[in-house]
Amino acid sequence: MWLMAAGAAVVCAAAVCAAAALVVRHRMKSSGKWARALSILKEFEEKCGTPSSKLKQVADAMTVEMHAGLASEGGSKLKMIISYVHNFPTGDEKGLFYALDLGGTNFRVLRVHLGGKESRVVKQEFEEVSIPAHLMTGSSDELFDYIASALAKFVATESDSQHVSPGRQRELGFTFSFPVRQTSISSGTLIKWTKGFSVEDTVGQDVVGELTKAIERAGLDMRVAALVNDTVGTLAGGRYNNPDVAAAVILGTGTNAAYVEHAHAIPKWHGLLPKSGEMVINMEWGNFRSSHLPLTEYDQALDAGSLNPGEQIFEKMISGMYLGEIVRRVLCKMAEEAAIFGDTVPPKLKIPFILRTPHTSAMHHDTSPDLKVVATKLKDILEISNTSLKLRKLIVEVCDIVATRGARLSAAGIVGILKKLGRDTVKDGEKQKSVVALDGGLYEHYTKFRTCMENTLWELLGEEASENIAVEHSMDGSGIGAALLAASHSQYIEVEEP
């Protein structure tokens, strides 16, 4: 009996030991996986590093590329497109003008009533319309017919007091935020689509011609008076309110910059020098590329799988279209190699672009003690439940690394522009104020991104130069700017009474 009891005790002890060993092994395995997750995070953080010294190299490279792009067509990754805008609205403009702002997954139609010097912008109204996904890769006629139809419906809501004068066409400023080879203030051929659009039969066509044909098909009597990029529109809107505005930057779904250049500093301009001595340049800075950019394996994979591999590298690192996707790719690697979400990779996490920048922004700004917003986003978007606080903190760190890199690179780009204009340093006795107008959903809504970008700008410029530089949020600048440019390029200006 004693022997049987002893045997049972031995078996029981062995079982306990085995179970304990299993727990230890599980913990070791678990801690090994967590160590791997932390290792992926650390490596990613190092690769995304943007010390001041690197950012100054990026700014210098931006300035060099700007010079090259102004010297000759195709001389740089920066297109440095001549916008044909060399006279800004004066404030004397009067009447009813429209704007159409197409630059991302939504477009806006605007109606602006201008009252001249005294009243300025009397009234403005707008409507935002989503573009169905299939039209972003469909035919040119389908896309522009959809836009013209929405425009016609909006025009139909004019009040009795808002109609244009009898015998006059309505006039529209067309903000088209894609690379265009501008041929005049109201014509330009599409070079390529960006931001997820791929309507092949529009490439090489005059986009004003495409819109005009669609407007006619919609039975609307309207003339496109000005074709502008969103940054050029933002610059015009900013300059209308503040004569010190020297540049405009859009940080939204995509990103771009425009600035006022001395006309004599554009070697590739072969026309007569404008009387103003100035010319607005649309940089198309999303296509900037430099060996100094802190690219990671995730950026390279994102680029390789994109609609435009090798193009828009700067945009893919800093704009709203891509920040969420970079976060997803990092989390995917952690899920595969460190099993942070369990033994299988959550199926939803494998879907490209399922995690959008507004989602990662919400997680990044989560101030609740248990990171409740992070838990909710993971559950609602990726169907991932029961995450630990430790894991949620890790995810916030990934969001922070991606946003910080994007914000600091944006600031370096702005310094590159100021450098080109000679406004990055203070000259003896000179107190010239330079204002940069900023717009776009990323800048407006992603607070941590905006704060980091502005702080980095002051860090790079230094205290003295920073005193002469200001950043202003140009609310809806691109739409208002387009309407203002339509007014300043109206076909009826010559017949206005003095």
Distances (CA, A) of 47 to 137, 299, 332: 34, 11, 17
Distances (CA, A) of 139 to 105, 197, 207, 469: 16, 11, 13, 44
Q: Tokens standing for 255?
A: 């990103």
CB 191 within 8 A of CB 181: yes
* β pairing state of 245-251 and 255-262: antiparallel
Catalytic site positions: 108, 177, 230
DSSP assignments along 303-367, one per residue: HHTSSSTTS-HHHHHHSHHHHHHHHHHHHHHHHHHH-TT-SS--GGGGSTT-S-HHHHHHHHT--
Q: Which residues have CB under 8 Å from 247's CB, separation 6+?
A: 235, 257, 258, 259, 260, 414, 417, 418, 421, 434, 436, 437
Task: Please choose, from the candidates 292, 261, 311, the residue with its C-alpha nearest in 3D space to the C-alpha of residue 70.
Answer: 261
Q: What are phi and psi of 312, to 5 degrees?
A: 55, 40
Chain centre distance of CA 283: 14
d(C-alpha 32, C-alpha 39), whole Å? 10
Our CA angle for 145, 196, 298, nearest 5°, is 175
d(C-alpha 486, C-alpha 497), whole Å? 18
Q: Tokens standing for 215?
A: 């407007």
Q: What is the 3-state secondary structure (H, E, C) of 455-494?
A: HHHHHHHHHHHHCCEEEEECCCHHHHHHHHHHHHCCCCHH
Residue 396's CB: how many other CB atoms inside 10 A?
18
- Which H/E stretch holds residue 172? strand 170-176
